[in-house]
Copies of this chain bind each other. A is one copy, B any other.
């Protein structure tokens, strides 16, 4: 009997232990060289185009840039008043538990930098794979700059995946010397969160032409009502004979101190068929509000909490003024005043930048998602309940030009229970492209976002908008509607050339909801009043929310026919049969993108990197 095996080793003088020892020494040498090498390639300060203060006092200031070819973000963190270090990181919704952290800590003499993570109890651990790569640290008169880099995806399950959309950044300041990472007590730390879109699109801001003018559409020193939700309406008139212009940019004007109260603002243009509109300055739901104001629904500009200035692409601008265009505008401001402040005065609004040099296309805004109706509801106690609104092939067939439209920006909108929003373009039953997606959506950060890629939509395409809600803190069903505690699922898409289609949204057929309430009555032996004469919200509030009633509602929303709102303005439908329409069928879903993992040399050892920062102060 003869033994065959692998070829014998050509260097038999090595023993296993010796080789292992050399192996680890080599890795260590390799890594030190790597850090030094990377420091040489660290980007300079001017290379960080995006900047945001992390804390309200501005002690921590984050700048960053995005390298799409390398699939990585380079951070520059300015620490104005370094004490004994800080935590910086990312987590699902800004919580300090289950967070992915870069930590700088000092025991007073020695300082260290490391990639760490916090568990569900907030305890810190050194990460077995070090993915916040330190590029350098430098002292400047204004403070200490830390430069580090992070790949979008690290393939380490403990790490946060940096995706398009909102990222909840967290920070914490170490005010006492720390002897080890594990000794940091996260609950005792002064810290907070800041929401940003880290992966900004690679788009250059178009230059404004020299004939650009500005106009402010602002509230006239309004006293904000001392109630939680107010929609304030204020009518504005353009000068007589004001010719057609293109709005090419706009930005919010917020009265100082009211930043937390102004929830969203829109400027609507009134219908051209009326020669004049009455002036008005008061709540939109007041009985005193003239009925004619209901004909002021064409969106000119929209801003919501967290958004910045908005620039139109060079090919397009929003038309206003001129023939066939009303001189009357309605400013609508949603004041959200949960602490019921009294007597707060406000002159917020929107500043329009416009030009008489018309661009090639008129731009428009279209509303996708769900109709504002209590038919679409979310049971209480759900951690991720999904509702979907459809813009059907039949509607785009009717309303879009043969050459299609180009969507270039999108603003996602829900009320307080919204956690994720995504719109997908589907053609012939196959999902083709994500229009806009935010997996860490926050109703407190509703920017209008330029799309990374312009989306072409043709007649017959479908636009499917899906919202995910969390109602774990609620004891009653949350129904669709206008109130801040009711819900919406909307994507305002900005596109050109403008069409008549202003609203392409859906809701479940009401008849199926009645059958559902009937079923709840039959399957639940409890005595609940599901009398058909009471309102839908009242019926929802009577449902005993057991697993069966939840599952059936969920299933029904994915099955029942829909009523389409394929509207020219929110009151006028395109001609056609829009009731009891079949749900669009999807035969092929978009693949989840496969995370792109960092290339070799592979994981670095789980050891902190010492930094020479000198003696740190001890208060």
Contacts and interface: CB of A to CB of B under 8 A. Distances in A.
B16 A22 contact: no
Interface in A510-569: 512, 515, 518-519, 522-523, 546-548, 551-552, 554-556, 558-560
A16 B37 contact: yes
Nearest to A37: B16
A609 interface: yes
Contact of A522 (B30, B518, B548, B558): B518
A546 B559 contact: yes
A1 interface: yes
A613 interface: yes
Given A26-B26, A37-B16, A4 B555 contact: no
A1 B140 contact: yes
A603 to B, nearest CB: 9
Contacts of A37: 16
B548 A36 contact: no
Contact of A551 (B7, B32, B546, B555): B555
A601 to B, nearest CB: 8
B7 A610 contact: yes
| A14, A37, A555 — most chain B CB neighbours (10 Å) | A555
A609 B22 contact: no
B8 A138 contact: no
B33 A27 contact: no
B33 A14 contact: yes
Contacts of A559: 546-548, 551
A16 B33 contact: yes
A3 interface: yes
Contacts of A601: 20, 23
Contact of A9 (B2, B5, B7, B36): B36
Interface in A1-55: 1-9, 11, 14, 16, 19-20, 22-23, 26-27, 29-30, 32-37, 39
Contacts of A19: 26, 29-30, 33
Nearest to A602: B602
A302 interface: no
A35 B134 CA distance: 37
B136 A5 contact: yes
- Interface bin, chain A: 35 or more
B3 A32 contact: no
A596 interface: no
A138 B551 CA distance: 60
A611 B4 contact: yes
A560 B546 CA distance: 11
A53 B559 CA distance: 51
Nearest to A512: B523
Nearest to A580: B525
A16 B33 CA distance: 7
A286 interface: no
A519 B70 CA distance: 55
Contacts of A5: 35-36, 39, 134, 136-137, 611-612
A28 to B, nearest CB: 10
Nearest to A3: B138
A3 B136 contact: yes
A139 interface: yes
25 contacts: A1-B140, A2-B139, A3-B137, A4-B139, A4-B613, A5-B35, A5-B137, A5-B612, A6-B36, A6-B134, A6-B611, A7-B612, A16-B33, A19-B26, A20-B30, A20-B601, A515-B522, A519-B523, A547-B555, A548-B556, A548-B559, A548-B560, A551-B552, A551-B558, A555-B555
Closest 10 CB pairs of A and B: A551-B555, A548-B559, A9-B32, A4-B612, A6-B35, A23-B26, A4-B137, A19-B30, A3-B138, A5-B39
